[in-house]
Structure 1
Amino acid sequence: MPTSSKQRMIPLLAATFPGVVIILLLFSLDYFQLQLVEKFLLLAAFVIVPLVIILLKYDEKNTAQRAIYWAIKWFQFPAALLALVSVMSSTMWGLAGTSIPGALSLGWLLLTLLLGLYGIATMIIHKGKIAEIAIGAGLVYFFIGGVWFTLYQYQWTFFQATPATHALSSIHFHFSSAIVPIFIGMLGRIMAKKNWYPWVVVIDIIGPILIAIGMIFSKPIEYIGVALFACNIVVYTTYLLTYLKRNVLYKKATVFLVLSCLAFYTVIVVSMFYPLLKRMFDLTILDFIPIYGALHAFGFVLCGLIGWVYLVDSMKKQSSIPIG
């Protein structure tokens, strides 16, 4: 039914190499005077989304879904470049306050719209499969992240939320809201049927919305959303580690997926000891943001995606193991 993941993997992985180089330059060179939140958004554009695209599968018989897939594949890198130029024009080229950064961000908004349409198509085609619904919801959340990015680049106020809140909301939807449902959907493709799994997916879809609403309107709602979301990730990581322990053949995948899980648990531990560390070393929350960001973006998300790419590839080579 779907095109082989291995066949699609080679050109897509090749397409990620320029993005990886660009991200390394953005994070290492002082020339790029970008805010940390902007660097993480560009990490999503150049590296995270291409890895997600590798994991997508489409029905050869569905012309619309196949067309959207190929549009996403070929437009991803140009859209990421437009996002980079948009950020640089507002931060480095003195065009902040004009409509130019916002207009340039529309390229990335279009790409995330295509991802959202692909997600909706996935949910419609596989309406009986809860794992595919989770993946489709994650793709839709990319579009919401794209909307927040455009609002940030236009410097518009929305529901009394500042542009800084727009940037944080965009990060939230590009990394947590989109990625966690995709991870849980990938887990659903390989796991034995469990009665609790549909509830995990439902909470996973509702949680990001609660967090986003809470960030703008109500802190208690945000805390509830974060708690539900964190509990879901605990369920996901626990089951995944158990699965990997039973299936020792997936060595490359296991390394990256274990690192992903460890990064999440490290974030939990650091959060628990934050008050103590704050007093001992005279630190502020601003000192911890880069730590949280790096652990989540590079650890949980990036390592997790690489791990799933390896795992899917390994399963494809073992034709006796179905994944969808």
Structure 2
Amino acid sequence: MNSSLKQLMKSLLAPAFPGGIITILIFYLDYLQFELVEKFLLFAAFVIVPLVILLLNHDAKNTHQRMIYGAIKWLQYPAALLTLASVMSSKMWGLESTAIPGILSLGWLLFTLLLGIYGLTTIVISKGKAAEIAIGAGLVYFFIGGIWFTLYQYQFDLFEANVATHALSSVHFHFSSAIVPIFIGALGRIMTKKSWYPWVVAIDIIGPILIAFGMIFSKPIEYIGVTLFACNIVVYTAYLLAYLKKNALDIKAAFLLGLSCLAFYTVVVISIFYPLLKNMYSLTILDFIPIYGSLHAFGFVLCGLIGWVYMVDFIKKKKIVKW
């Protein structure tokens, strides 16, 4: 038993284990009467962000970046607990009409600000490397997600958008907007130089902004942003699958990254057949949201992050390619 516990503590994924247990309770305990969107936000705070931190490189010679990295590692869990307290105060403690949920949400806002600052330092010291710029942009998008979460908890009606839109915007920036650039950046670190890659990074940075702007002000702009973003993910998944097929890699990394790509394509297929399924089974978009959310959050994002954590470790040990 002791040896098993030691192996668990030495696991690459150990930082995400406590948050993983809390997330399971959040999703399955009837006692916690949270909205689905809030459950996904807490999943991001407790599991997704710790996994992202495992993928970050920091320059040992850069004192400021090293200090920010250390602060991020130490403050992530307390910030996630404050996020949970913020949601509980508005849903369970009868404080929804007070400023308490908003005040508690400031802990996560400040933490995502740290992530954003780290992202900006990554961009500044990247010397024009597209992969590092992509990862830096993804970290900045976490901060934008933190802003939307705080607006949601304060119940502000910003830009004449309702509070539910703030929650969806926060989820959008915590998952798609932040994670896809990080995935594309991780791929850029290990792939050979391609002329099209900087364009993929540029579109990947612009896409989330168009989607967020469109969600509030203009549906056509949102559709353009979603189309560009989806096309980018197709390029990422297609190249990644080809890379996995061509190279002998860690089996866990290859399996999980392949599963992540499969989850994305499943979402695409369901989206294509949505009108037919809706008519055949009298379903509404509300019936599909949990399916889309689960496939994206647990399939594409979670499997992809764990896969990249294993991939980074494998490449560092084997020194197959320059990292």
Give the TM-score band, short-chain normalised.
over 0.9
Q: Unpaired segments of 5 or more residues in structure 1?
A: 1-8
Residue 23 of structure 1 is matched in structure 2 by 23
Deviations 1:234-264 (A, max 9, x none): 0000000000001133211011000000000
CA distance, structure 2, for counterparts of residue 107 and residue 319 of structure 1: 39
RMSD across aligned C-alpha pairs, in angstroms? 1.1
The residue matched to 1:34 in structure 2 has which SS? coil
In 2: Cα distance, 1:200 partner to 1:112 partner: 25
Structure 2: distance between partners of 1:152 and 1:261:
31
* Aligned residue in 2 for 1:273: 273
Q: How many Å separate the matches in 2 of 1:126 and 1:282?
A: 51
Aligned twin of 2:321: 321
1:53 aligns to what? Answer: 53
Read off the aligned partner of 1:290 and give its amino acid letter: P
Q: Does 1:108 align with 2:108?
A: yes
- Structure 2 Cα separation of the partners of residues 92 and 193 of structure 1: 52
Per-residue deviation, 1:186: 0.4
What code does the residue aligned with 1:64 have? Answer: H
Superimposed CA distance per residue, residues 57-109 of structure 1 (whole angstroms, 9 cap, x where no aligned partner): 10000000000000000000000000000001001111112100000000000
CA distance in 1 between counterparts of 2:14 and 2:111 reads: 19
**Cα distance, 1:212 vs. partner?**
0.3
The match for 1:262 is 262
Following superposition, the deviation at residue 16 of structure 1 comes to: 1.6
Q: 3-state SS of the aligned residue for 1:313?
A: helix
Which aligned segments of 4 or more residues in structure 1 are displaced greater than 2 angstroms?
Answer: 9-15
Distance 1:169 1:246 in 2: 38
1:165-185 CA-to-partner distances (Å, cap 9, x unmatched) read 000000000000000000000
Counterpart check, 1:210 vs 2:230: no
- Give the Cα separation in 1 of the matches to 2:12 and 2:153: 28
Which amino acid in 2 is paired with 1:91? Answer: K
**Structure-2 separation of matches of 1:312 and 1:39:** 29
Q: 8 Å contact 1:127–1:133 — kept in the other structure?
A: no
* Structure-1 separation of matches of 2:18 and 2:181: 27
Asked if structure 2 preserves the Cα contact closer than 8 Å seen for 1:89 and 1:101, the reply is yes
Partner amino acid, structure 1, of 2:98: T
Look up the match of 1:4.
none
Partner of 1:65: 65
Q: Deviations over 1:273-299 (max 9, x none)?
A: 000000111100000000000000000
Structure 1 partner of 2:5: none
| Structure 1 segment 1-324 matched on structure 2, within 5 A | 10=10, 13-323=13-323
**Counterpart secondary structure, 1:249:** coil
* Structure 2 CA distance for partners of 1:207 and 1:276, relative to 1, 3 Å: same
Give the Cα separation in 2 of the matches to 1:266 and 1:109: 33
Percent identical pairs in the alignment equals: 75
The answer on whether the counterparts of 2:12 and 2:309 sit within 8 Å (CA) in structure 1 is no
Query: TM (normalized to structure 1)?
Result: 0.96
1:175-217 CA-to-partner distances (Å, cap 9, x unmatched) read: 0000000000000000111110000000000000000000000
Cα pair distance change 1:150/1:11, threshold 3 Å: farther
- Residues 141 and 173 of structure 2 are in contact (CA less than 8 Å); yes or no, is this contact kept in structure 1? yes
Amino acid aligned to 1:13: L
Match of 1:97, as an amino acid? S
In 1, Cα distance between equivalents of 2:319 and 2:311: 13
**Partner Cα separation in structure 2 for residue 253 and residue 12 of structure 1:** 12
- Contact between 1:38 and 1:87, CA under 8 Å: does it hold in 2? yes
> Whole-Å Cα distance in 1 between the matches of residues 284 and 268 of structure 2?
17
Tell me the amino acid that sits aligned with residue 35 of structure 2. Answer: Q
Deviation of 1:320 after TM superposition, in Å, equals 4.7
Q: 1:12–1:50: 8 Å Cα contact kept in structure 2?
A: no
Whether the aligned pair in 2 keeps the contact of 1:213 and 1:222 (CA below 8 Å) is: yes
Amino acid at match of 1:88: M
Secondary structure at 1:159's aligned position in 2?
helix
Q: CA deviation at 1:128?
A: 1.8
With 121-130 and 40-49 compared, the bigger mean Cα shift is at 121-130
- Report the counterpart of residue 6 of structure 1 in structure 2: none
